[in-house]
Amino acid sequence: MCNSLTANTLELIESAKEVFDIEANSVLKLKERLNNAFLKTIDIIYASKGKVVVTGMGKSGLIGRKIASTLCSTGTPAVFLHPAESTHGDSGIISRSDVVIAISNSGETQELLNLLPLILRFGVPLIALTGGLSSTLAQKSDVVLDISVEREACPLNKAPTASTTATLAMGDAIAVCLLKKRGFSYEDFLLFHPSGSLGKGILYKVGELMIKGDKLPIVSQDVSFSEAIKLVSEKRLGTALLVDNNSRLTGVLTDGDIRRAVIKHPDARNLKVKDVMTLSPKTIGIDELCAKALSVMEKYSITSLAVVDDNNIPIGLLHIHDLLRAGVV
């Protein structure tokens, strides 16, 4: 019985691997179909003054909802329209400035075809994601993107599996290309995700969370090493901001700098702080998003950033502890 269970288990693993192979190959074959039709799709949506209305029935509809959601979160306004509900008033969501993406593997889904007269009457661009390149949907569309697959991952070759995966991948490609064409930034993405782990705390700007005024550990670069250490200890921020005679930031003294200086110089009392400070420290502007500041800290493995004005004069200090307390993650 143990051997039988092992054989069954191995058979299931092989079945799962076959699903992965079929679906992966279906997606990879889409690369060979990237042509003028795909570029025209991007241009049409990019030039649109309205939104993208995504529609599809059944499993295609579920994929359509995901595509609409991905478009929204990457800078392209989009909604999902259920084709069966469209003939009961929901088609009013379509305006003459919109673009419609219709999804049907066969291209002959009746509920979707019932929507075509309205789309054609409005004269809005119609983009078809279909495997039926000679279908009614394909013939009525302005642009046809081929999402056909050789076979479904289902052993019966019936359940939408590889075809829905390919459709989703095509939708992702459209969304990402539009994102790049719009110059959609990291900050833009976070602003569209103000809740949850993607964007918690991202509405904060550096100026709102930075340490300022008398709490700032600012000292001249010409003071002694021991005097600078005293300031670091008093302010309890793990760093001191060092400035020249024009109050411009020239360096920082961190706890790490202090340890390295003590190890390297047996008699550190005779040192000037400028002899051991970190030159050209990382800085940030007061109006930048705290999320950007956190990414800089993570990239360079530092715990604070000097906040400077246009003349490189320090006006604040942003510490990672303040970011974490505010929920910037």
Report whether 68 contacts 52 (CB < 8 A): yes
Report whether 310 contacts 249 (CB < 8 A): no
Name the token pair of 287: 């109006």
Which CA distances in Å does 51 have to 93, 123, 131, 200? 10, 14, 25, 27
3-state secondary structure of 240: strand
Domain boundaries of the chain, sorted by first residue: 2-184, 206-325
pLDDT of the residue at 1: 46
Q: Phi first, then psi: what are they for 172, rounded to 5°?
A: -65, -40
Note the pTM of the prediction, 2 decimals: 0.63
Fold category of 206-325 in CATH:
CBS-domain (3.10.580)
Q: Name which of 161, 163, 158 is nearest 146 in CA terms.
A: 163
**How far apart are alpha carbons 33 and 133 in whole angstroms?**
13
For residues 57-83, b (16+ Cβ closer than 10 Å) or e, as one string? bbbbbebbbbbbbbbbbbbbebbbbbb
pLDDT of the residue at 324: 84
Q: Domain 2-184 carries which CATH code? A: 3.40.50.10490
Q: What is the mean pLDDT of each run of 10 residues along the chain (329 residues)?
A: 69 93 96 96 96 95 96 91 74 89 95 90 94 96 96 90 96 95 73 54 82 92 91 91 95 90 80 89 92 88 93 94 81
pLDDT of the residue at 58: 93
Q: Name which of 123, 105, 4 is nearest 64 in CA terms.
A: 105
**How far apart are alpha carbons 160 and 138 in whole angstroms?**
19
HEC-encoded secondary structure of 51-105: CEEEEECHHHHHHHHHHHHHHHHCCCCEEEECHHHHCCCHHHHCCCCCEEEEEEC
